[in-house]
Amino acid sequence: MPSAPELLSSVFGFDAFRPGQEEIVNAVIAGRNTLAIMPTGGGKSLCYQLPALVREGVTVVISPLIALMRDQVRGLREAGVAAGALTSGNTEEETDAVFRALDAGELKLLYMAPERLASGGTLTLLRRIGVGLIAVDEAHCVSQWGHDFRPDYLEIGKLRHALNVPLAAFTATADAETRAEIVTRLFDGQPPETFLHGFDRPNIHLAFAAKTSPRNQILSFAAARKGQSGIVYCGTRAKTETLSRALAEAGHSACHYHGGMEAEARRHVEGRFQQEDGLIVVATVAFGMGVDKPDIRWVAHADLPKSIEAYYQEIGRAGRDGAPAETLTLFGADDIRLRRAQIDESLAPPERRMADHARLNALLGLAEALHCRRQSLLSYFGEEAEPCGNCDLCDSPPELFDGTEAVRKALSAILRTGEYFGTGHLIDILLGVETDKIRARGHDALPTFGVGLEFDKRQWQAVFRQMMGHDLVRPDPERHGALRMTEAARPILRGEDSITLRRDTLRAQASRPVARALVSEEDAPLLSALKAKRRAYAEAARVPAYVVFNDRTLIEMAEVKPRTLDEMARISGVGATKLERYGAGFLEVITGAVPAPEHPARRKLAGREGGALYDRLMAAQADLTRGETGIDKPLSCSASQLAKLAEMQPRDMGTLTRILGERRADRFGEAFLEVLAEG
């Protein structure tokens, strides 16, 4: 059997390993469990493909995307390596060919999607063909802390046990929490031999820009790079289509890609992107891990990515060949609100949502960085670096100012209002705006009321945005997005530390149409929480979300904020059945407390006149339970009897007696008739 260096040259055509590759290859060949964290474009695939040729048996590669598997199989076959893939995208002929090759003992690498592991026949197949190694690509998918969590990856650990073979896991982005979960899920908590290589991609130019006219900004960026292959990432499917049309109208070769397209249409775009020079794909992140084109010259984000890990992996699709590549990431207040809402609406536990907010804050910190962006990016991944000279801030350093006083004013407003309010209300306090909400809560009497007149509302928004970027404040999902101060802010508040902010982000931007918000800024976090609750109910019942409540109903809930089932029943779209089924759950979201249980008879009267009558009848009964003297034998009416009185509203003792019986009518009759007469 040829050695690894010989195969590196003869099969893959490389004279030498890239930095860090050789030690990983040797560990995998030796059969040691391995975890390798390497930068995107750092040559991860070779670290399991080459050992597969040296080791006995078949190497099974678990990979998350069909496109990625197809690309790698095609490349290996071109290199003379016997490789195949079993995917849902195979034709019947392709699948038959793979099985024939396996039966003949010809394949060295077999690619599979994680979803296939759940199939009953998969383990039998893998035992029969003599698997010698499992390689896991994009291993961060096994972790709920990772940004591409795939539940089917959780089956891989069981597969390793069943086959009793070594496992090599690879990923480009894995922070400490993700690494820990990978070790737990894939290696039973027994630390594998771990290789953590530098995250720097020095050939990629980094740049961020505040949104002014996003479409024109993207068109200008693409125009300066006409004829070069590029990717534009968008936050919505609709935007991929409109922006790709705009690029095509501007003379570019462009197409769109998103998860809502038919599989055949997606494969067509993937094929074009691999084959055509100079094609621009405008895509959601669905066009993601499977992109392995080495000569992508630029990546632009028309909207802010969801985390710093996602940003790193998405820009990492540029310049995989090592030649210069460029990036541009646009961001604005709407992006931040959207990402906050997505986190708050998720069904993740509170600690996960807080961690996701921290990850978003790290990305905002990169967007609002004061100095070299590469230093900020690598610092997040635990690396130190000198100023890179290859980012927009190194090209043109930003204008800075001492923001200590402004930040202390903002922190004071947060603390003096009990950390229970969002940015909009806090800015109104700082600007001395006498809203109904401020007057109702007495916040116009606070020492911080009106102390922030040196900035206007938009400038204060930029200050708060930078505070989030520096992780001085975080939205609390348990308080519907109210800002809470972090420990990092305390030295600034106490006057023990200072902070520098960027002045350029406070300057007025060119005007553009502003999307009409569904609710006010203050109510937006609650609306997000209500949507998350709706989603939970919908998924449990396996029905569309609007079947539970439509958006209009949730908007009214967020604005009215009902505190009882009676108030909830008055919300448009909340009928008796939905109140019975969902009312208490949504009240808990709004009030933060589990509603006291109510008798079903009373619950049926919620929101109706009879509900209030029932409560008053119950109070009258309580006064007479032991009679007028307080020493009689206890007596009471059933809930259904009180409900019947509240509904029928009898006005004479005869009718009341027929409902309650003589004993109860004797004790409560006069008092009840008095209540009923008042209506």
Residue 385 covered by a domain: no
Q: Predicted confidence band at 577 (pLDDT cuts at 50, 70, 90)?
A: confident
User: Of the residues 330, 354, 386, which one is the last residue of a structural domain?
Assistant: 330
Burial of 103 (0-12, 13-18, 19+ CB in 10 A): exposed
One-letter identity of residue 440: A
Statement to judge: residues 221 and 289 lie in one domain:
yes
Residue 580 covered by a domain: yes
Residue 350 covered by a domain: no
Residue 284 covered by a domain: yes
Q: Predicted confidence band at 544 (pLDDT cuts at 50, 70, 90)?
A: low
- Per the CB < 8 A criterion, the answer to whether 305 and 233 are in contact is yes
CATH code of the domain in which 246 resides: 3.40.50.300
Q: What is the pLDDT of residues 199-236, one digit of tens each?
A: 888 989 999 998 888 999 999 999 999 888 899 999 99
pLDDT in the model for residue 596: 74
Statement to judge: residues 255 and 233 lie in one domain:
yes
Residue 487 covered by a domain: yes
Q: What is the pLDDT of residues 545-563, one digit of tens each?
A: 766 887 778 888 998 999 9
Mean pLDDT, range 57-61, rounded to an integer: 96
pLDDT in the model for residue 439: 93
Q: What is the pLDDT of residues 408-430, one digit of tens each?
A: 999 999 999 999 999 999 999 99
DSSP 508-530: PPPP---PPPSS-TTTHHHHHHH
- Per the CB < 8 A criterion, the answer to whether 361 and 355 are in contact is no
Considering only residues 381 and 147, tell me which one the structure prediction assigns the higher pLDDT: 381
Give the H/E segment covering residue 552: helix 551-560
Tokens of 439: 């007057």
326 vs 317: CA distance, rounded Å? 11
CATH code of the domain in which 667 resides: 1.10.150
User: Of the residues 196, 215, 243, which one is the last residue of a structural domain?
Assistant: 196
Mean pLDDT, range 15-38, rounded to an integer: 91
Q: Which of 103-107, 332-336, 402-406 has the lowest mean pLDDT?
A: 332-336
Residue 26 covered by a domain: yes
Q: Predicted confidence band at 302 (pLDDT cuts at 50, 70, 90)?
A: very high
Q: Which range in 90-104, 443-457, 470-484 is most confidently predicted, on average pLDDT? A: 443-457
Statement to judge: residues 261 and 326 lie in one domain:
yes
Considering only residues 445 and 626, tell me which one the structure prediction assigns the higher pLDDT: 445
619 has pLDDT over 70: yes
134 phi and psi, to 5 degrees? -110, 130
Residue 146 covered by a domain: yes
Q: Which of 383-392, 605-614, 653-662 has the lowest mean pLDDT?
A: 605-614
Share of the chain above pLDDT 90, in %: 39
**Distances, alpha carbon 293 to alpha carbons 67, 109, 145, 229, in Å:** 11, 21, 27, 9
Mean pLDDT, range 312-318, rounded to an integer: 89
Overall domain count for the chain: 5
321 vs 42: CA distance, rounded Å? 10
Q: Predicted confidence band at 70 (pLDDT cuts at 50, 70, 90)?
A: confident
Q: Predicted confidence band at 154 (pLDDT cuts at 50, 70, 90)?
A: confident
- Per the CB < 8 A criterion, the answer to whether 431 and 460 are in contact is yes
106 has pLDDT over 80: yes
Q: Tell me the helix, strand and coil percentages in the chain, rounded to 5.
A: 50, 10, 40
513 has pLDDT over 50: no
Three-state SS at 272: helix
Statement to judge: residues 441 and 557 lie in one domain:
no
Give the range of the structural domain holding residue 460, as residue numbers without chain letter. 400-506
pLDDT in the model for residue 401: 94
Three-state SS at 363: helix
Statement to judge: residues 170 and 277 lie in one domain:
no
pTM of the model: 0.63
289 has pLDDT over 60: no
Mean pLDDT, range 634-650, rounded to an integer: 87
Statement to judge: residues 271 and 232 lie in one domain:
yes
Statement to judge: residues 247 and 225 lie in one domain:
yes
Statement to judge: residues 72 and 192 lie in one domain:
yes
Statement to judge: residues 324 and 452 lie in one domain:
no
Q: Predicted confidence band at 292 (pLDDT cuts at 50, 70, 90)?
A: low
Q: Predicted confidence band at 145 (pLDDT cuts at 50, 70, 90)?
A: low
Contacts of 515 (CB under 8 A, 6+ apart): 334
Mean pLDDT, range 451-462, rounded to an integer: 92
pLDDT in the model for residue 346: 84
b vs e for 533-551, b when ≥16 Cβ sit within 10 Å of the residue's Cβ? Answer: bbeebbeeeeeebeebbee
300 has pLDDT over 60: yes
Residue 552 covered by a domain: yes
pLDDT in the model for residue 410: 97
CATH code of the domain in which 579 resides: 1.10.150.80
Statement to judge: residues 19 and 142 lie in one domain:
yes
Q: Predicted confidence band at 456 (pLDDT cuts at 50, 70, 90)?
A: very high
3 has pLDDT over 50: yes
User: Of the residues 310, 330, 350, which one is the last residue of a structural domain?
Assistant: 330
Statement to judge: residues 228 and 310 lie in one domain:
yes
Statement to judge: residues 241 and 192 lie in one domain:
no
